[in-house]
């Protein structure tokens, strides 16, 4: 089927590549000329495992192309996916101006029946507004359908999640676009749930908020574990073996971040408020998340007494492993807080160093270190801020020798406390 995707961010680009991979003819549209130029010349604007190969393969096969022209995208395709950013406004609500603009532009180019699908994370009732906007700005008076089809991919696992989704949600105003949507997703072999437009939009915000709630829940439990000498990983394991609870998203740490959970929680709280409901449960999820970071910074400060002029090696800058994304990264926030306390930082991340430089500039107090095993040199302590698997391979023996003191603050519970003690480290982690 002929598809177009407007917006080539994490969601748009990966979705486009995966649709092409299963045989659809895909046109990816982005207003950013530099980005489209880069993609056309074989470059990649983001790091996402497996994506580059998929894009190259499908461009070569003639199933995937890039353009800056919405008109071209609309003309070529029966189904047009909107995957543009929906950034937060200062009051926590969602900036829908990109969605509105794209809806107007699509409407202006439509000369035949189209299915316009929203993939961006949007407040409930956005689809209704998109439909209204298209109706208003469509010059040709042609028929169309608006569909909500939220995306559930995780950064760092985007290709895997898209190729093997748990479920596909299709929200519609009438049954007309359902067969087309089923045809698009049929090759992925996942269960498809068809709902009304508003339910589909709510499923997305409700899912992300629930996952964030799970993380805050285990982080709250980690506080009780620290107070009692219990082990949060064992508690999570025991809880998660109940299939109604499940093992995932029960890793205690320094809190969740990224471009989705913090923004979506604020948005959902705001949406609820506008609908007359005070979503206090989610406000508490936010509060626990913020406190988790406070507690970790305090743990470091209490152990080192004075942070001023201390050198700390920070492992991890991305908001989680397998990505170069540093948006709302707890690791970056941690670095900024340590800097405010007067510490000097030696930082490293396997993929996110170049993006991190823009928000955490190199300077007298921040040194970027290319080799993770060189980070500990001259450090008073090490801090693990992102759960990159590769950090488990840190040469601890060498680190001990080149540091002033062998102290490690593990904000992601990567190492085994007993083993670290045996190796002679002062080791502090979360909830253990």
By the criterion CB under 6 A, which residues form the site for ligand UGA? 121, 151-155, 208, 211, 215, 249-251, 253, 256-258, 260-261, 319-320
CB of 144 to ligand UGA, least distance (A): 26
CB 334 within 8 A of CB 411: yes
Cα separation, 151 vs 188, in Å, equals 14
152 or 185: whose CB is closer to ligand UGA? 152
The greatest distance separating any two alpha carbons of the chain, rounded to the nearest whole angstrom, comes to: 75
In the complex, what is the shortest distance from the CB of residue 353 to ligand UGA, in angstroms, rounded to a whole number?
A: 18
Q: Is 18 a known active-site residue?
A: no
In 3D space, the residue among 131, 135, 117, 147 whose CA is nearest the CA of residue 12 turns out to be 117
CB of residue 253 to ligand UGA, shortest distance in Å: 4
Q: Work out how close the CB of 429 gets to ligand UGA at its nearest, in angstroms, rounded to a whole number.
A: 13
Instruction: Kindly report the number of other CB atoms within 10 A of residue 323's CB atom.
Output: 27
Provide the minimum distance between the beta carbon of 87 and ligand UGA in the complex, in angstroms, as a whole number. 13
**Measured between alpha carbons, how far is 225 from 89 in angstroms, rounded to an integer?**
37
DSSP 167-183: -EEEEESSSTTHHHHHH
Query: Please, what's the b/e burial string for 245-263 (b: 16 or more CB within 10 A of its CB; e: otherwise)?
Result: eeeebbbbbbbbbbbbbbb
Count of Cβ atoms closer than 10 Å to residue 179 Cβ: 9
The torsion of the CA quartet 347, 349, 352, 356, rounded to 10 degrees, works out to -10
Residue 61 CB neighbour total at 10 angstroms: 11
Q: Which of the following is catalytic: 18, 109, 225, 260?
A: 260
Beta bridge partners of 345: 312, 366
CA 190 vs. chain centroid, Å, equals 22
Taking the least distance from each CB to ligand UGA, the nearer of 4 and 208 is 208
Whole-number minimum distance, CB 238 to ligand UGA, in Å?
15
**What does DSSP assign to residue 61?**
T
Q: Which is nearer to ligand UGA, 75 or 160 (CB)?
A: 160
Given CA atoms 267, 268, 273, 275 in this order, what sign does their dihedral have?
A: positive
The angle formed by the CA atoms of residues 316, 320 and 321, to the nearest 5 degrees, is 75
Q: What is the strand order of the sheet 311-315 is part of? A: 366-368, 344-348, 311-315, 381-384, 407-410, 426-428
| C-alpha to C-alpha distance for 353 and 421, rounded to whole angstroms | 31
Cα 306 to Cα 158, 300, 341, 377, 380, distances in angstroms? 42, 9, 8, 20, 11
Spell out the alpha helix ranges (H) of 61-125: 70-76, 97-109
Active-site positions read 260
């Amino acid at each position: 089927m002929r598809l177009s995707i407007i917006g080539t961010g994490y969601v748009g680009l990966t979705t486009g590549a995966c649709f092409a991979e299963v045989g659809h003819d895909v046109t990816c549209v982005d207003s950013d000329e530099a980005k489209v130029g880069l993609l056309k010349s074989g470059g990649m604007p983001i790091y996402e495992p497996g994506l580059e190969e998929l894009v190259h393969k499908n461009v070569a096969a003639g199933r995937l192309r890039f353009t800056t022209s919405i008109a071209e995208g609309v003309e070529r395709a029966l189904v047009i996916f909107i995957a543009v950013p929906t950034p937060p406004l200062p009051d926590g609500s969602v900036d829908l101006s990109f969605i509105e603009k794209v809806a107007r532009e699509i409407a202006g180019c439509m000369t035949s029946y189209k299915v316009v699908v929203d993939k961006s994370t949007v407040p409930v009732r956005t689809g209704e507004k998109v439909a209204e906007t298209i109706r208003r700005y469509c010059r040709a008076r042609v028929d169309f359908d608006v569909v909500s089809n939220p995306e559930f991919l995780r950064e760092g696992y985007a290709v895997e999640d898209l190729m093997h989704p748990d479920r596909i949600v299709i929200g519609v105003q009438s049954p007309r676009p359902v067969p087309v949507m089923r045809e698009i997703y049929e090759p992925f072999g996942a269960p498809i749930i068809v709902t009304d437009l508003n339910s589909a939009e709510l499923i997305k915000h409700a899912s992300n908020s629930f996952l964030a709630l799970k993380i805050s829940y285990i982080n709250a439990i980690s506080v009780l574990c620290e107070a009692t000498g219990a082990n949060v990983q064992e508690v999570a394991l025991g809880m998660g073996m109940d299939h109604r609870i499940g093992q995932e998203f029960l890793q205690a740490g320094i809190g969740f971040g990224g471009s989705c959970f913090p923004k979506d929680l604020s948005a959902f709280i705001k949406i609820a408020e506008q609908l007359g409901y005070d979503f206090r449960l989610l406000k508490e999820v936010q509060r626990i998340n913020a406190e988790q970071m406070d507690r970790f910074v305090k743990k470091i400060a209490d152990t080192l007494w004075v942070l001023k002029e201390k050198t700390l090696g920070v492992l991890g800058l991305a908001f989680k492993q397998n990505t170069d994304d540093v948006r709302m990264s707890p690791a970056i926030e941690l670095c900024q807080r340590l800097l405010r306390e007067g510490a000097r930082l030696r930082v490293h991340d396997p993929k996110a160093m170049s993006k991190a430089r823009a928000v955490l500039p190199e300077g007298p107090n921040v040194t970027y270190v290319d080799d993770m095993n060189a980070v500990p040199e001259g450090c008073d302590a090490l801090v693990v801020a992102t759960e990159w698997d590769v950090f488990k391979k840190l040469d601890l023996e060498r680190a001990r020798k080149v540091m002033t003191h062998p102290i490690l603050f593990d904000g992601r519970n990567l190492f085994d406390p007993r083993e670290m003690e045996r190796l002679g480290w002062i080791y502090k982690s979360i909830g253990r």
